[in-house]
Structure 1
Amino acid sequence: MSYENILVATENNITTITINRPNKLNALNKATIAELHQAFKTAEADTATRVIVLTGSGEKAFVAGADISEFANFSVEEGAQLAQQGQELLFDFVENLKTPVIGAVNGFALGGGLELAMSCHFRVASENAKMGLPEVSLGVIPGYGGTQRLPQLVGKGKAMEMIMTAGMLNAEEAKQYGLVNYVVPQAELLDLCNSIAQKIIKNSPVAISKAIKAVNANFKDGVNGYETEIKAFGYCFGTEDFKEGTTAFLEKRKAEFSGK
């Protein structure tokens, strides 16, 4: 499938999705969000894809934010609908994918860009990365899950400060607060993401998908994360991957997981 605003490539069981609007610093507009939704949906359905890496084109930005020109004149109802549709189509969708998603944050990740990065299961940043939620400087608040995911990652106090001041963290500060897992030179960003992806690929896709669901359950209202874990743990016992993994361990060989 061809896209106007993103690039998609699959190699060695890794699908790399690149937001490709460098002249707009990869800002998110409706069309880009729709294309990203389709690309993630397609990758999720592709059995050859075991890990997804999300990044932005160029050296300046992962995603510099949302395309403000699209919603500057929206009404109250239109604004609420914008946030709801965006969360359903992309941000919540990515967070709840069964396939692991690594955010490769190069350059600016601001507003909707940081919210998109936080939707990924974890993040790696280049040394020139800058991350923040500057929405209050525009008279609005983060609407794509930023007020929920940022406190989960950096703690309530730091999240409150970042949101209220519209301030940014540099890459090392982001690592210090747990917003990203690693910081590397920009030229090494995708190499490290691919290296981590290869480690993930060696493990059971079924178990990984259940682990994602169990971890996410801890942050959902009305959901008992421990109960989700117990059910997911039990489910694994009925899979081919469990039989292969335990047999391989007992036979002192490497497991060859089928994802079933």
Structure 2
Amino acid sequence: MAAALRGIGLLRARLGLPAAAAATSAALGRAPHRAPALRGGAAAARPSAGRSYGSQAKEEEELRVRYLDDEHKGIVVLGLNRSHAKNALSKNLVKMMSKAVDALKSDKKVRTVIFRSEVPGIFCAGADLKERAKMHSSEVSSFVSRARATINELANLPVPTIAAIDGTALGGGLELALACDIRVAASSAKMGLVETKLAIIPGAGGTQRLPRTIGVSLAKELIFSARVVDGEEAKSIGLISHVVEQNEAGDAAYKRALALAKEFLPQGPVAMRVAKLAINQGMEVDLVTGLAIEEACYAQTIPTKDRIEGLLAFKEKRPPRYKGE
């Protein structure tokens, strides 16, 4: 019972589900509490309209944020861009990631986020050990906490997230990918093309996310041995969802991720958000509590335009035409 109420509390705090929470709390025999106000507003969290993205982004930007248009409208690409340090996680990069994720979580126009590397042959080499060596011990603790919090915020984004791994992902780099809902990696047997390598080094959540992804026994084996696996093996053990043959441009994983993200666009945005929340929260509790969370989430789709349009489309046997939330 207590676990169920905690689960519903998380729903209210993250997506603002007062009606569903009240209904479920009533069913559990408890009085609902007033939902806490969300921090800031959508307008405050959105990047300014005058900011440049994509090819217009400055070369020195360690994180490039692109809002795609036309047939890919609704997809946002976060690109790691620290070529001199193999995309290692520095204080500045973590700060930029935190700021970007904070803006995305309140942006209702965002439908899917793709996390990729803008540097050929590398996804992320983990923490920036050169920078860390110059830190005071108190700074190291603060940095690790900030990095962990940022990765958690990425994992808790209300929209689907995809990691496009076109290169090596080590330690915190793989943990960053593990925080995404779906992982796509490139693999290649061709000479001259970079082979994707993945290895977990505990620090920013790897000891928790890896067992939940591939199972406890196998996670222990990989962590204890610090084994490096390629894309094919990573797929066979369930570490990644898709493995694709690398292309000459070195962006095969990104292209596959983009195709996946495009598949998500026709789906109802409200339904997508509550489905992700129900899955994430349901995996942490018992089945009865999970079903209560699902019921609370489902209640949020009943009065929405998404659901009405979806039902009409099903009745008329045509693709739905969503007009927003």
* Same fold per superposition (TM over 0.5): yes
Q: Which residue of 2 aligns with 1:29?
A: 90
Q: Which residue of 1 aligns with 2:281?
A: 217
- Map Cα deviations across residues 116-137 of structure 1 (whole Å, 9 max, x no partner): 0001111000112111123xxx
Q: Is contact 1:96-1:212 (8 Å) kept? A: no
Q: How many residues align?
A: 251
Whether 2:85 is the aligned partner of 1:18: answer: no
Indicate the percent of aligned positions where both proteins have the same amino acid: 33
Q: What are the residue-to-residue correspondences of 1:159-170 with 2, within 5 Å? A: 159-170=219-230
CA distance change for structure 1 residues 221 and 84 in 2, over 3 Å: closer, same or farther? farther
Measured after TM superposition, the shift of residue 29 of structure 1 is: 0.8
Q: Which residue of 1 aligns with 2:46?
A: none
Q: Which residue of 2 aligns with 1:5?
A: 62
Could you say which structure has the greater relative contact order, defined with CA pairs below 8 angstroms and 6 or more residues apart? 2
- Map Cα deviations across residues 75-125 of structure 1 (whole Å, 9 max, x no partner): 3x655433332222x211111111211100111111110010001111000
CA distance change for structure 1 residues 36 and 182 in 2, over 3 Å: closer, same or farther? same
Whether 2:182 is the aligned partner of 1:125: answer: no
Q: Which residue of 1 aligns with 2:321?
A: 256
Q: Which consecutive unaligned segments of at least 5 residues does structure 2 have?
A: 1-50, 52-56, 188-194
Alpha-carbon distance in 2 for matches of 1:41, 1:257: 26
Q: Is contact 2:65-2:78 (8 Å) kept? A: yes
Q: Is contact 1:210-1:232 (8 Å) kept? A: yes
Q: Which residue of 2 aligns with 1:139?
A: none
Alpha-carbon distance in 1 for matches of 2:94, 2:236: 30
Q: Is contact 2:122-2:169 (8 Å) kept? A: yes
Alpha-carbon distance in 2 for matches of 1:40, 1:125: 22
- Map Cα deviations across residues 40-78 of structure 1 (whole Å, 9 max, x no partner): 333344444321111112222100111113333553x65
Q: Which consecutive unaligned segments of at least 5 residues does structure 1 have?
A: 135-141
Q: Is contact 2:112-2:161 (8 Å) kept? A: yes
Measured after TM superposition, the shift of residue 216 of structure 1 is: 0.8
- Map Cα deviations across residues 227-257 of structure 1 (whole Å, 9 max, x no partner): 2112101221122211111122112222122
- Map Cα deviations across residues 10-49 of structure 1 (whole Å, 9 max, x no partner): 2222211110012211111111011112223333444443
- Structure of greater Rg: 2
* Paired amino acid for 2:166: N
* Paired amino acid for 1:214: A
* Paired amino acid for 1:9: R
Q: Is contact 1:94-1:119 (8 Å) kept? A: yes
Tell me which stretches of 4 or more aligned residues in structure 1 moved more than 4 Å: 77-80
* Paired amino acid for 1:58: V
* TM-score relative to the length of structure 1: 0.89
Q: Is contact 2:88-2:127 (8 Å) kept? A: yes
Query: How much is the aligned-residue C-alpha RMSD, in angstroms?
Result: 2.1
* TM-score relative to the length of structure 2: 0.72
